[in-house]
Amino acid sequence: MPSRATPPRAGIFKDFSRRWMLRAGVASLATSSGLAGLTRLGRADGFAPSPPTTPFLDALPLPSFAQPSAATTITPSPARRIPSNAVFYEIETREALHSFHSQLPLNSIWGYNGLTPGPTIRAKAGIPNLVRFTNHLPQNDPVGIGSPINAIHRHGGFQAPEDDGYPADFFSTEVSRDYLYLNPGEDGNLWYHDHSLDITAENVYRGLAALYWNFDARDSLEGELDLSPDALRLPGRMDNGSRLYDIPLVFQDRQFDKQGFLIYDSFAHNGFVGDKFCVNGVIQPYFDVQPRKYRFRFVNGSNARQYEFVLRDGTTDVPFDYIIGTDDRLLEHPLANVSGFRIASSERVQAVIDFSKYAGKEIYLVNRLEQVEGRKPKGIVDPGVQLVKFRVAKRKVDDPSQVPPTLRPVPPDERPEAVLAAGVRVRRTFEWNRQGGAWAVNGQLYDENRIDAKPVQDQYEIWDLKAGGGWEHPVHVHLTNFFILSRNGKKPASVEQGWKDVVVVGGDRGDVQILIKFSGFTGKYVFHCHTVEHEDARMMANLEIQPKR
């Protein structure tokens, strides 16, 4: 039985300049060993274009679902108090071969259970999960992208500090670590990914990302077939273990050398962008759909790239029928006939598309946002890049799903106007800027031994988030979600008025003010830029949640 990790807290990668030296040494070793056909470290001066690939040659793959383990096969550490109704999972991080496109060679990836995206965990509110992650990553990997240490962060989740994937709580090869997720309620649209100190960008780029869905009586696992009075009956149903009509779309950009092998620039600490667009791990796939409603869960899993999505029927843009959720939660009310939306690294949006009016047609999901560097997007282009071709069948099918007018009501005492009327005593300002060639929060590089803020549990605060230099930073705060009060002093756009756990600050997006509180747990957590190269280059800070007085 693998032991639970007791990771060191002193960072072996704490000095990122030392890390760069180490990585360059690995690259030199790979080259001198004659491993020219394998993926190697990138160059600081950019790459030639990736080899051409034919769009819509390959089908959109759907991530598998993680299967629970029998309780007798996984024994928690004696120090852990595990609820008696917990469901157990065992997941491995390991190297595997993966096809990004049928015209490219198989590539070495690191994946949860050897898959990218990894297996989706389906949870039920009120039923805890204990997930044992075992690190089987190779110690002497010739590819040169990533380091074989793991820290697992369930992004958007509410979990104890020891289960949050604190960056310095990493564990090494052939070591396991248990993570307990209590799944308290409405945080339903999560994902999990590596969060290891200083090497998150490389490990996620190599493939360590997957989804975590939480269902309850309202947004139920039975979906559209749930006839109980509280059920939303959104598109989605179970069929022989599969989830039909509820479809994840994980977007990642990648770069390949002239032989078709994955490459990455380890010196691109301003933010790495590639020129190939993968959806669920495949470049520009097609997806066969029925002429009915589908629920799509958009996840930006890219390191630095932002997207602006539109739907296109031929040369005509058509609206998304509904936007129903942002980040980890459903909106209070669906937004109808949305022309398009922007999504930054780690943001999520849930949309419903009714294909019944497109029977027999081909509809395209298009990215209209050009971006060539980590600073920010360059601007809107036309016609943009087609990322997914939806091939709509001709024959009508039964569709019992619905999009009700109310999804997740916000409790009256949690509405921003009510909270502000009651008074908010604590206000903080965080500025996100360049510092000495790295990235800083309030002029300070990340130090795991320094506490940057001490919020009190269940006490509301107002945070003013600012950024300079024309850079845009998607800011993610652990252990919470929040409301955006204003963007540049004005009310945020409709798609930003629900619960959020990521918000873009700076550049063309401007300054942001959020209403935030931390509940459920006390202890040490982080908040950071989710352009993960910025995070690795120290754009991160520590929170220590204090017990309520």
pLDDT per residue as tens digits for the range 379-422 = 999 999 999 999 999 998 999 999 999 999 999 999 999 999 99
Other beta carbons within 10 angstroms of residue 242's beta carbon come to 11
**Looking at the structure, do residues 26 and 141 belong to the same domain, yes or no?**
yes
The answer to whether residues 543 and 452 touch, using CB atoms and an 8 Å cutoff, is yes
Q: Based on the number of CB atoms within 10 Å of its own CB, is 156 exposed (0-12), middle (13-18) or buried (19 or more)?
A: buried
**Looking at the structure, do residues 355 and 420 belong to the same domain, yes or no?**
no
Instruction: Provide the pLDDT for residue 313.
Output: 97
The mean predicted confidence, pLDDT, of the chain is: 91
Is 21's pLDDT higher than 60?
no
Across the range 144-162, mean pLDDT stands at 97
Tell me if 321 is assigned to some domain.
Answer: yes
**Looking at the structure, do residues 388 and 417 belong to the same domain, yes or no?**
no
How sure is the predictor about 244, in pLDDT bands with cuts at 50, 70 and 90? Answer: very high
Chain centroid to CA 76: how far?
28
Instruction: Provide the pLDDT for residue 332.
Output: 98
User: pLDDT per residue over 210-237, tens digit each?
Assistant: 999 999 999 999 999 999 999 999 999 9
**Looking at the structure, do residues 417 and 381 belong to the same domain, yes or no?**
no
Domain carrying residue 484: 412-545
User: Which tokens is 338 given?
Assistant: 């949305």
- Please tell me the distance from the alpha carbon of residue 461 to that of residue 419, in angstroms, as a whole number: 10
pLDDT > 90 in the chain, percent: 85
Across the range 277-282, mean pLDDT stands at 98
Is 14's pLDDT higher than 50?
no
**Looking at the structure, do residues 74 and 189 belong to the same domain, yes or no?**
yes
Which residues, including other chains, have CB under 8 Å from residue 212's CB and lie 6 or more apart? 120, 121, 123, 154, 157, 181, 190, 191, 192
* Residue predicted with more confidence, 194 or 19: 194
Tell me if 310 is assigned to some domain.
Answer: yes
CA distances from 432 to 201, 474, 476, 515 (A): 19, 10, 12, 18
Q: How many domains would you assign to the chain?
A: 3
How sure is the predictor about 7, in pLDDT bands with cuts at 50, 70 and 90? Answer: very low
Is 36's pLDDT higher than 50?
no
Using the structure block, give the residue that is written with the tokens 């198989």: 106
Of 196, 216, 236, which residue is a domain's last?
Answer: 216
Of 164, 195, 216, which residue is a domain's last?
Answer: 216
**Looking at the structure, do residues 275 and 208 belong to the same domain, yes or no?**
no
- Please tell me the distance from the alpha carbon of residue 98 to that of residue 110, in angstroms, as a whole number: 9
Across the range 112-138, mean pLDDT stands at 97
Question: In the 3-class helix/strand/coil scheme, how is 161-214 assigned residue by residue?
Answer: HHHCCCCCCCECCCCEEEEEECCCCCCCEEEEEECCCCCHHHHHHHCCEEEEEE
Instruction: Provide the pLDDT for residue 71.
Output: 67
How sure is the predictor about 184, in pLDDT bands with cuts at 50, 70 and 90? Answer: confident
Which residues, including other chains, have CB under 8 Å from residue 415's CB and lie 6 or more apart? none
Question: Residue length, the chain?
Answer: 549
* Residue predicted with more confidence, 267 or 519: 519
**Looking at the structure, do residues 143 and 42 belong to the same domain, yes or no?**
yes
Tell me if 509 is assigned to some domain.
Answer: yes
Is 522's pLDDT higher than 70?
yes
User: pLDDT per residue over 424-483, tens digit each?
Assistant: 999 999 999 998 889 999 999 999 999 999 999 999 999 999 999 999 999 999 999 999
Tell me if 137 is assigned to some domain.
Answer: yes
Q: Would the pTM of this model clear 0.95, i.e. be above it?
A: no
Instruction: Provide the pLDDT for residue 31.
Output: 33
Is 42's pLDDT higher than 80?
no
Residue burial 24-52, b: 16+ Cβ < 10 Å; e: rest: eebbeebeeeeeeebbbbbeeeebeebbe
- Please tell me the distance from the alpha carbon of residue 291 to that of residue 391, in angstroms, as a whole number: 10
Instruction: Provide the pLDDT for residue 312.
Output: 98
Is 339's pLDDT higher than 80?
yes
Which residues, including other chains, have CB under 8 Å from residue 509's CB and lie 6 or more apart? 472, 487
**Looking at the structure, do residues 357 and 430 belong to the same domain, yes or no?**
no
- Please tell me the distance from the alpha carbon of residue 4 to that of residue 26, in angstroms, as a whole number: 29
Tell me if 256 is assigned to some domain.
Answer: yes
Instruction: Provide the pLDDT for residue 207.
Output: 98
CA distances from 513 to 344, 431, 461, 489 (A): 18, 12, 10, 8
Across the range 515-522, mean pLDDT stands at 96
What is the rounded end-to-end Cα distance, in angstroms, of the chain? 42
How sure is the predictor about 78, in pLDDT bands with cuts at 50, 70 and 90? Answer: low
Closest-CA residue to 509 (of 337, 344, 323): 344
Instruction: Provide the pLDDT for residue 20.
Output: 39
Using the structure block, give the residue that is written with the tokens 């006490």: 459
Tell me if 136 is assigned to some domain.
Answer: yes
**Looking at the structure, do residues 72 and 131 belong to the same domain, yes or no?**
yes
CATH of the domain at 328: 2.60.40.420
User: pLDDT per residue over 348-388, tens digit each?
Assistant: 999 999 999 999 999 999 999 999 999 999 999 999 999 99
Tell me if 502 is assigned to some domain.
Answer: yes
Tell me if 222 is assigned to some domain.
Answer: no
**Looking at the structure, do residues 418 and 383 belong to the same domain, yes or no?**
no
Instruction: Provide the pLDDT for residue 46.
Output: 67
Of 363, 392, 421, which residue is a domain's last?
Answer: 392
**Looking at the structure, do residues 115 and 160 belong to the same domain, yes or no?**
yes
**Looking at the structure, do residues 43 and 162 belong to the same domain, yes or no?**
yes
Give the containing element (helix H, strand E) for 20.
helix 16-32
Residue burial 452-463, b: 16+ Cβ < 10 Å; e: rest: bbebbeebbbbb
Using the structure block, give the residue that is written with the tokens 């990004």: 100
Across the range 115-129, mean pLDDT stands at 96
